Amino acid sequence: DFASVTILVPGRLNPDTLETLKETFDVEHVEDRDLSRLSAERRASIRGIAQMGPIDGATMDMLPKLEIIANFGVGYDAVDTKAATERKVVVTNTPDVLTEEVADTALGLLLMTVRELGAAEQHLRAGLWETKGNYPLTGATLQGRTVGIMGLGRIGLAIARRLEGFGVKIAYHNRSERSDVPYPYHPTLESLAGAVDTLIIAAPGGASTEKAVNAAVLKALGPDGIFINIGRGSTVDEPALIEALKDGTIRAAGLDVFDKEPHVPAALIALPNAVLLPHVASASRHTRRAMGDLVINNLKAWFQGEKPLTPVAESVEAGLARSA
CB 6 within 8 A of CB 25: yes
CB 261 within 8 A of CB 279: yes
Strand order in the sheet with 198-201: 169-173, 146-150, 198-201, 226-229, 252-255, 274-276
Binding flag, residue 95, ligand NDP (CB under 6 A): yes
Binding flag, residue 228, ligand NDP (CB under 6 A): no
- The binding track of 123-152 with respect to ligand NDP, each residue x by CB under 6 A or -, is ---------------------------xxx
Name the residue nearer to ligand NDP (CB basis): 89 or 257.
Answer: 257
- The total of other beta-carbon atoms located within 10 Å of residue 139's CB is 11
Q: Which of 309, 297, 321 is nearest to 89 (CA)?
A: 321
Binding flag, residue 259, ligand NDP (CB under 6 A): no
Binding flag, residue 205, ligand NDP (CB under 6 A): yes
Is residue 31 part of the annotated active site? The answer reads no
By CB under 6 A, name the one of 60, 256, 318, 321 that touches ligand NDP: 256
Helix (H), strand (E) at residue 8: strand 6-10
Binding flag, residue 162, ligand NDP (CB under 6 A): no
Is residue 279 part of the annotated active site? The answer reads yes
**Phi and psi at residue 106, to the nearest 5°:** -60, -45
By CB under 6 A, name the one of 74, 97, 110, 252 that touches ligand NDP: 74
- The total of other beta-carbon atoms located within 10 Å of residue 293's CB is 15
By CB under 6 A, name the one of 174, 249, 287, 310 that touches ligand NDP: 174
Is residue 261 part of the annotated active site? The answer reads yes
How open is the CA angle 78-80-85, to the nearest 5 degrees? Answer: 145
By CB under 6 A, name the one of 13, 52, 98, 321 that touches ligand NDP: 98
* Site of interaction with ligand NDP (CB under 6 A): 74-75, 95, 98, 102, 150-156, 173-176, 202-205, 208-209, 230-232, 256-257, 279, 281-282
